[in-house]
Amino acid sequence: MIFLRFFLLFSLFSLAFSHEHLNSHHLGRPLIIEYSENVETQYKEFEEELRLQCTSWRFAVEANNLSPWKTIPQECADYVKDYMMGRAYIVDLERVSKEAGNYAKSVELSGDGKDIWVFDIDETLLSNLPYYAEHGYGLEVFGHVKFDKWVEKAMAPAIEPSLKLYEEVLGLGFKVILLTGRSERHRNFTIENLINAGFRDWHQLILRASDDHGKLATIYKSEKRSEMAKDGNRIIGNSGDQWSDLLGSQMSIRSFKLPNPMYYIP
What is the distance between the alpha carbons of residues 259 and 127, in angstroms, rounded to a whole number?
12
DSSP 233: -
Residue closer to its own copies, measured from CB, 33 or 205: 33
Nearer to its own copies, 60 or 141 (CB): 60
Q: In what order do the strands lie in the sheet with 204-208?
A: 204-208, 175-183, 115-119, 234-240, 254-257
Q: How far is the CB of 55 from its own copies (least distance, A)?
A: 7
Give which of 90, 113, 117 is closest to 103, Cα–Cα.
117
DSSP 128: -
Give the binding site for its own copies (CB under 8 A): 2, 5-6, 9-10, 12-13, 16, 30, 33, 52-53, 55-60, 62-67, 87-88, 91-92, 95-96, 99-100, 102-103, 255-257, 259
Beta carbon nearer to its own copies, 82 or 140: 82
Q: How far is the CB of 76 from its own copies (least distance, A)?
A: 13
| 12, 39, 258 from 15: Cα distances, Å | 5, 18, 54
Distance of alpha carbon 51 from alpha carbon 76, whole angstroms: 8
Residues in contact with 62: Cβ distance below 8 Å, sequence separation at least 6, in sequence order: 257, 259, 261
CA distance 136 to 146: 13
Q: Are 197 and 80 in contact (CB under 8 A)?
A: no
CB of 247 to its own copies, least distance (A): 8
* Residue number, 103 or 147, with CB nearest to its own copies: 103
Nearer to its own copies by Cβ, of 96 and 177: the residue is: 96
Residue 52 beta carbon to its own copies: minimum distance, rounded to whole angstroms = 6
Residue 67 or 210 having the CB closest to its own copies: 67
Closest distance to its own copies from the beta carbon of 3 (Å):
8
Classify 248 in phi/psi space as left (phi over 0), alpha (psi -120 to 50) or beta.
Answer: left
3-state secondary structure of 165: helix
Do 175 and 203 form a contact (C-beta atoms < 8 A)?
A: yes
Output 39 or 60, the one with its CB closest to its own copies: 60
CB of residue 79 to its own copies, shortest distance in Å: 13
- The rounded distance, in Å, linking the Cα atoms of 4 and 21 is 26
Task: Give the shortest CB-172-to-its own copies separation in angstroms.
Answer: 17
